[in-house]
Amino acid sequence: MPIDLAVVPVAGRGTRLLPLTKSQPKEMLPVGRRPVVQHVVEEMVRSGVRRILFITGAAKSAIENHFDIDAELISHLRESGKEDLLAELAFERENVDYYFTRQRRQLGLGHAVLCAAPMVGDDPFVVALGDTIIGLNDSSDVTRRMIDEFDRRGADAVIAFQEVAAEDVVHYGIAESEGKPGDVFRLKRIVEKPAIKEAPSRLAVAARYVFGPRIFETLRTTQAGKGGEIQLTDAIEQLIAAGRGVYGVRLAAGESRYDIGNYESYYRTFLEFALADPQYGGEVRAALKRMLD
Ligand code: UTP
């Protein structure tokens, strides 16, 4: 059965981006011309997803509004002779159904995913973090590749990984592969935010997952881990320990992960997308050069 459902957790408080995120979702921050979460949704649609379930929370209603069809805005643009701008709203007409449920307490990513269980049932599904874009300007098909591997291998989980610098392993779930890891590899272990010396590799979880229903069974019994949160990584580690088929898919060269969850990476992400803007990229580059000279 083709996978057509993506769970997009967007309920986190985004405290590392305060005060920006006090009353607006970090997932709505602009990256180039689109809010982050629109990049994520468009990647899902390219991968064959037709149902999106947002795990949302307080102060996140802008996300629901963004994916509504705004008939009033459409007629305003028509009546004021701005028909050319209607193309900017084309995403509203994607062939997708949106669903929303609340994570009523922010108990961590694992808990956010578990909130999807009543709707997902026994269907396999994608999880795509709402604050992370993969690939510059719609260039990534990693979710499509992950879905293919999930089907081909009859897996319980497939996870995207990207190689990071040694000093960055402390921020991510890190993989230990069975044997030398190729583009696709079987996981022997996964460790949440290890110390540099304890990291089994530099392969870091990259914000995209495909799961079968066993992940819910596991999450139901997962205790709070690092940071007092229910960690998705801990549930994945339990799947591996139980001998389930858990595989990694590496991002290809040039298929970067843009996680906008802290200022340093948000600034870099915005800059890279602004430089790649087909209309204004050249001017931004020239202005930047002037600033740096
Ligand atoms: P993060 O851990 O980066 O988000 O989660 P956060 O908790 O908002 O960040 P800080 O540390 O306070 O700055 C990655 C993704 O998972 C979602 C977030 O919304 C984000 O898209 N998330 C995280 C949830 O939906 N619920 C949670 O309990 C935690």
Quick: pLDDT tens for 206-232: 999 999 999 999 999 999 888 889 999
pTM of this structure = 0.95
Assign a CATH topology to domain 5-292. Spore Coat Polysaccharide Biosynthesis Protein SpsA; Chain A (3.90.550)
Torsions phi, psi for 84 (to 5 deg): -60, -25
More confident residue, 276 or 94: 276
Residues 6+ apart with CB under 8 A from 87: none
The residue whose CB lies within 8 Å of the most ligand 1 atoms, and thus the one to mutate among 131, 192, 233, 263, is: 131
Q: Which residues of 142-170 are buried (b: 16+ CB within 10 A; e: fewer)?
A: bbebbbbbbeeeebbbbbbbbebeeeebe
Per-residue pLDDT tens digits for 159-182: 999 999 999 999 999 999 999 999
Does position 70 have pLDDT exceeding 90, yes or no? no
In angstroms, the CA 53 to CA 127 distance is 10
Is residue 3 scored above 80 in pLDDT? yes
Ligand 1 pocket mutation, candidates 102, 109, 232, criterion most atoms within 8 A of CB: 109
pLDDT at 68 over 80: yes
Q: Which two tokens stand for residue 247?
A: 């595989």
181 CB under 6 A from ligand 1?
no
> How confident is the prediction for the chain on average, in pLDDT?
95
pLDDT at 225: 85
Please state, in angstroms and as integers, the Cα–Cα distance from residue 173 to each residue in 4, 140, 191, following that order. Answer: 26, 21, 5
Q: What DSSP letter does each residue of 218-277 carry, written as one string?
A: HHHTPPP-GGGS--HHHHHHHHHHTT--EEEEEPPTT--EEE-SSHHHHHHHHHHHHHT-
Give residue 90 CA to ligand 1 midpoint distance, Å: 28
pLDDT score at 204: 97
Locate the domains of the chain by residue range. 5-292
pLDDT digits (tens, 9 = 90+) for 186-198: 999 999 899 999 9
> Does residue 1 surpass a pLDDT of 80?
no
Minimal-distance CA residue to ligand 1 atom 1 = 12
How close is the Cα of 293 to the center of ligand 1, in Å? 38
Distance 137 CA to ligand 1 centre (A): 23
The predicted structure's pLDDT at residue 199: 96
